[in-house]
Amino acid sequence: MIQNHEIDYRIFGEEMQYVEVELDPNETAIAEPGAFMMMDDGIQMQTLFGDGSSQQQGGLLGKLFTAGKRLLVGENLFMTAFTNVAYGKKHVSFASPYPGKIIPLDLSRLGNRVICQKDAFLCAAKGVSIGIEFQRKLGTGLFGGEGFIMEKLEGDGMAFLHAGGYVLERHLQAGELLKIDTGCIVGFTASVHYDIQFVGGIKNTIFGGEGLFFATLQGPGTVWIQTLPISRLAGRILQYGTTTRKEEGSVLGGLGNLLDGDGWR
């Protein structure tokens, strides 16, 4: 039987959120390196090889294999554990890396398993296993983009994901099908069937501007959707930072730059 540490939490903020985790004595939370924000005195930090879950036990070779798989999803080999070594309740906080929302997941109410984007995991109660989820279909593997290799969170404790922009929680009925941009998927329960579908039509392919493929998610199950994938945000920033600026108001031209302040620099 899976037994995770039972942690309480509070989420603060609107666009730039952070989650405050309350730890009883000897309780532990785990997080990705770089997610830490602040903590009370009496909490001890420790670097873990892998996620420190019971599924990672089984000798050095087993730990190497479990932790090494995280490299395939672009994650760190190590995680940080925050343990309350004092007598009273203590708090540790983890911050979101970019504008968006933090999604709390009680895995015990979600079938003990959630599949998520490889960069969505923020922190969790110790005992939650963070591994990789291979998509077995050939079409999914070749054309899925973000959907080729995803993370899986397993256990019966709390885990926290981070998503960009606004987050929609959608409950799919049995057989209900949802077509969605692969980057907009934050995660879904294990009962949801995931696949990749080709966008048909030559005009859609050449002029649609939405890519050649999108994901299909079929219920039953729960899906979390984000409006602003980090890849989309990064691409837009890169576009503005590396190309000559197009005048938003072509009639004003250089005068428009003067009005918005660019002409004074």
What's the pLDDT score for residue 215? 84
Encoded amino acid at 114, one letter: V
DSSP state of 56: G
Whether residue 75 is predicted with pLDDT greater than 80 in this model: the reply is no
Q: What is d(CA 160, CA 107) in angstroms, rounded to the nearest whole number?
A: 10
Q: Domains for the chain: give ranges and CATH numbers.
A: 8-244 (3.60.160.10)
What's the pLDDT score for residue 133? 79
| Range list of β-strands (E), the chain | 8-12, 18-23, 28-31, 36-39, 43-49, 78-84, 90-95, 100-106, 113-116, 121-125, 129-134, 149-154, 158-164, 167-172, 177-180, 185-189, 193-198, 213-218, 221-226
Going by C-alpha positions, the residue among 167, 117, 170, 119 that lies closest to residue 144 is 117
160 Cβ partners below 8 Å, 6+ apart?
A: 9, 19, 94, 102, 103, 104, 105, 121, 122, 123, 124
In the chain, % of residues over pLDDT 70:
66
Half-sphere exposure of 106 (CA within 13 A, CB side): 6
**28-42, 157-171, 243-257: least confidently modelled range:** 243-257
Residue 129's CB is within 10 A of a number of other CB atoms, namely 23
Whether residue 46 is predicted with pLDDT greater than 70 in this model: the reply is yes
Going by C-alpha positions, the residue among 184, 263, 262, 248 that lies closest to residue 216 is 184
Question: How far is residue 43 from each of residues 21, 93, 238, measured CA to CA in Å?
Answer: 12, 11, 39
Q: What is the average pLDDT across 131-138?
A: 64
Max Cα–Cα distance, the chain, nearest Å: 70
264 Cβ partners below 8 Å, 6+ apart?
A: 258
Question: How far is residue 47 from each of residues 18, 126, 214, measured CA to CA in Å?
Answer: 21, 13, 38
Whether residue 35 is predicted with pLDDT greater than 50 in this model: the reply is yes
Identify the band that residue 72 occupies on the pLDDT scale cut at 50, 70 and 90. Answer: low
Q: What is d(CA 152, CA 192) in angstroms, rounded to the nearest whole number?
A: 13
Q: What is d(CA 31, CA 38) in angstroms, rounded to the nearest whole number?
A: 13
Strand order in the sheet with 185-189: 129-134, 149-154, 113-116, 185-189, 221-226, 167-172
Q: Which two tokens stand for residue 70?
A: 């995280």
- Torsions phi, psi for 210 (to 5 deg): -110, 10
